[in-house]
Amino acid sequence: MGGTQSTPENDEKIFESQVPLNFSQDLVNHLAENLPSTATSPARQEHLDSQVRKRIDEEAARLRDQDASVKEAIRQALDASIQHDAPSSDDGPSSPELQKSLDQVIERVQRLDTQRQSFSSDETTVKGQAVVECYKKHSKTPLDCWREVAEFHASVAELEKKYVKSLV
Q: How do residues 38-52 score in pLDDT, each as one tens digit? A: 667 788 888 888 898
Residue 105 falls inside a structural domain: yes
Residue 31 falls inside a structural domain: no
Count of domains for the chain: 1
Q: Which region among 7-11, 14-18, 120-124 has the lowest average model confidence (pLDDT)?
A: 7-11
Give 94-153 pLDDT, tens digit per residue. 788 888 888 898 888 888 777 666 666 678 888 889 999 999 998 888 888 899 999 999
Residue 107 falls inside a structural domain: yes
Helices (H), the chain: 3-6, 25-33, 42-85, 95-118, 122-137, 146-167
Residue 78 falls inside a structural domain: yes
Q: What is the pTM of this model?
A: 0.32
Of 152, 156, 154, 136, residue with least CA distance to 144: 136
Residue 145 falls inside a structural domain: yes
Residue 86 falls inside a structural domain: yes
